[in-house]
């Protein structure tokens, strides 16, 4: 599975959009981009995933560049409860695909 690169930490003001970048320049054609987050001392929570089209759900939007070498997770109106470590993971979407976690981005939403 391809590796990802994310900034170690980011700050965001409450109520503003949080844009979390991820580089995955070695992604292959059958690998999806997944985003999870982990609030302190809890299990990871699934946010969103996509292959090449932009995706949106009730939690966030995922923007994937045309060459698929990078993506951005957007939390449109960040709240204090969105403070967490956000993990960008690429994975084959089949029985053998495993979620391998990198170091993630520690997002701090400040009042």
Partner 1 sequence: GAVVSQHPSRVICKSGTSVKIECRSLDFQATTMFWYRQFPKQSLMLMATSNEGSKATYEQGVEKDKFLINHASLTLSTLTVTSAHPEDSSFYICSARGWGGQGSYEQYFGPGTRLTVT
- Of the pair 68, 91, the CB lying nearest partner 1 is at 91
Q: How far is the CB of 43 from partner 1 (least distance, A)?
A: 4
- Of the pair 15, 101, the CB lying nearest partner 1 is at 101
What one-character DSSP code corresponds to residue 16? S
Instruction: List residues binding partner 1 (CB under 8 A).
Output: 36, 38, 41-46, 49, 87, 95, 98-104
Q: What is the DSSP string of 40-93?
A: TTS--EEEEEESSS-EE-SS-EEEE-TTSSEEEEEETT--GGG-EEEEEEEEES
- Of the pair 42, 66, the CB lying nearest partner 1 is at 42
């Amino acid at each position: 599975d391809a590796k990802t690169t994310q900034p170690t930490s980011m700050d965001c003001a409450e109520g503003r959009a949080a844009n979390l970048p991820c580089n995955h320049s070695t992604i292959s054609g059958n690998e999806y981009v997944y985003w999870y987050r982990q609030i302190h001392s809890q299990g990871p929570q699934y946010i969103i995933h996509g292959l090449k089209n932009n995706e949106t759900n009730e939690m966030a939007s995922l923007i994937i560049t045309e060459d698929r070498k990078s993506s951005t997770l957007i939390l449109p109106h960040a709240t204090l409860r969105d403070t967490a470590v956000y993990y960008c993971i690429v994975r084959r979407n089949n029985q053998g695909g495993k979620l391998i976690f990198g170091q993630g981005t520690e997002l701090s939403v400040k009042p």
